[in-house]
């Protein structure tokens, strides 16, 4: 659904919704490219970290000429292919695809990861049955100890055995780019050793992730930003990035709480004095975590309204004493420029990645474009 203004929110099926700022997303892409001095593989796994992979990938391709995308699963890749059907786009699956579904993934023109000989054999056999060459991303373990061949791999040993594998990319992943540069330097040296061993082969390379872009000089074909594109990077050294998602709700009900009365499940909050509480229709089923109970706050205009009592599955209670009883229908900011995903992560003793990915699909997404129009999904 397309609309021209957010002034009339009656057309949004819930008073709780997320706004995705597409201009900010585009600006973050530009920052990633400029810092990298290279193009990027846009990481849109986990539904673009909760922002909506199809919409954002389509925008990145059409408006920013991004042609390489990364997902975590085959299903994510197949869904993305529905909006990225052009033959000049690559969708790289970074995670394991079940052996029995490799053929389906190849039929969907996905670039599959190769991380050991057993899996290379599975992919090669599937490609042979289809009568095609399999395009793959070679994953090299330089110290993450997750998926990947040893950085001492001789590519000739692999490709002489599996001649129908075409290596499009060689990639590795930093384990500590946001906290331990010494180990990251060891990893880059290992990746460079792999490239030196296999210098007779031609393929694109990708190493730096979001915090890697912020902290290291890129020497490879592509960088691979994920969180960065959505306005965050874990070292917080870049001030030009802007959060792409904001989360909003409204005050649905107000009641007087007498001194000594309790609020919510478990009676974890008792009113120290007579006060007004507001109820907002957002809860942990929406991704607003129970760990925010008696700890977080929302913004009603410029007023901080503390979360009181336990966050419920569908509702949260807040202190609205300062703004008064005539606040039903007032919009409140749950997350945005003034309450970032990083702030919510601190309240929950977790990371901003987890907060963003946790905003559930029952929260409508409203896409805001530069031209002043909006789309609701």
In the chain, domain spans = 22-230, 245-376
What tokens does 278 get?
């507001």
Cα(213)–Cα(223) distance, rounded to whole angstroms?
A: 7
The DSSP bridge partners found for residue 43 are 70
**1 pLDDT exceeds 70?**
no
211: confidence class by pLDDT, cuts 50, 70, 90 = confident
**8 pLDDT exceeds 70?**
no
Question: Which pLDDT belongs to residue 9?
Answer: 59
Share of the chain above pLDDT 90, in %: 87
CATH of domain 22-230: 3.20.20.10
- Owner of token pair 């949260």: 316
Query: How much is the pTM?
Result: 0.93
DSSP annotation string for 142-209: SSS-SS-EETT--HHHHHHH-TTEEEEEEE---SSTTT-HHHHHHHHHHHHHHHHHTTTS--EEE---
Question: Which pLDDT belongs to residue 214?
Answer: 84
Query: pLDDT tens-digit profile of 244-298?
Result: 999 999 999 999 999 999 999 999 999 999 999 999 999 999 999 999 999 999 9
Q: What are phi and psi of 105, to 5 degrees?
A: -65, -40
Residue 219 assigned ligand-binding role: no
Question: Which pLDDT belongs to residue 216?
Answer: 86
* Chain centroid offset of residue 197 CA: 34
- What is the H or E stretch that residue 50 is in? helix 45-50
Active site residues: 45, 265
Question: Which pLDDT belongs to residue 6?
Answer: 64
Mean pLDDT of all residues in the chain? Answer: 94
Query: pLDDT tens-digit profile of 149-164?
Result: 999 999 999 999 999 9
Cα(209)–Cα(225) distance, rounded to whole angstroms?
A: 5
245-376: CATH topology: Lyase, Ornithine Decarboxylase; Chain A, domain 1 (2.40.37)
377: confidence class by pLDDT, cuts 50, 70, 90 = confident
The answer to whether 252 and 300 have CB atoms below 8 angstroms apart is: no
Report helix, strand or coil for 275.
strand
Question: Which pLDDT belongs to residue 5?
Answer: 63
Q: For the packed helices 53-64 and 74-81, what is the interaxial angle rounded to 10 degrees?
A: 50
Mean pLDDT of 182-208: 95
What tokens does 344 get?
């919510």
Residue 313 assigned ligand-binding role: yes
């Amino acid at each position: 659904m397309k609309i021209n203004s957010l002034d009339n929110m009656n057309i949004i099926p819930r008073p709780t919704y997320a706004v995705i700022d597409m201009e900010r997303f585009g600006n973050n892409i530009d920052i990633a490219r400029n810092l990298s001095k290279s193009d990027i593989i846009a990481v849109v796994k986990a539904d673009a970290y909760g922002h909506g992979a199809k919409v954002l990938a389509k925008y990145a391709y059409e408006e920013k000429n991004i042609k390489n995308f990364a997902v975590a699963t085959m299903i994510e890749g197949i869904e993305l292919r529905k909006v990225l059907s052009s033959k000049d786009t690559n969708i790289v699956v970074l995670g394991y695809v079940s052996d029995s579904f490799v053929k389906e993934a190849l039929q969907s023109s996905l670039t599959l990861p190769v991380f050991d000989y057993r899996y290379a054999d599975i992919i090669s056999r599937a490609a042979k049955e289809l009568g095609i060459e399999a395009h793959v991303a070679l994953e090299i373990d330089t110290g993450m100890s997750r998926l990947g061949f040893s950085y001492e791999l001789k590519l000739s040993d692999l490709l002489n055995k599996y001649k129908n594998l075409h290596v499009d990319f060689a990639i590795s992943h930093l384990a500590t780019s946001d906290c331990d540069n010494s180990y990251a330097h060891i990893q880059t040296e290992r990746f460079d050793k792999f490239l030196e061993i296999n210098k007779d082969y031609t393929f694109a390379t990708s190493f730096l992730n979001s915090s890697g872009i912020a902290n290291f000089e890129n020497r490879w074909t592509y960088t691979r930003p994920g969180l960065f594109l959505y306005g965050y990077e874990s070292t917080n050294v870049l001030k030009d990035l802007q959060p792409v998602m904001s989360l909003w709700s409204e005050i649905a009900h107000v009641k007087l709480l007498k001194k000594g009365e309790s609020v919510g499940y478990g009676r974890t909050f008792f009113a120290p004095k007579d006060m007004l509480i507001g109820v907002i229709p957002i809860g942990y089923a929406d991704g607003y975590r129970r760990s925010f109970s008696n700890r977080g706050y929302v913004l009603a205009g410029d007023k901080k309204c503390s979360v009181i009592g336990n966050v419920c599955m569908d509702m949260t209670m807040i202190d609205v004493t300062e703004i008064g009883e005539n606040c039903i229908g007032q919009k409140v900011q749950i997350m945005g420029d003034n309450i970032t995903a990083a702030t919510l992560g601190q309240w929950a003793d977790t990371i901003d990645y987890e907060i963003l990915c946790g905003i559930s699909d029952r929260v409508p997404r409203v896409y805001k474009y530069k031209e002043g129009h909006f789309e609701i999904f």
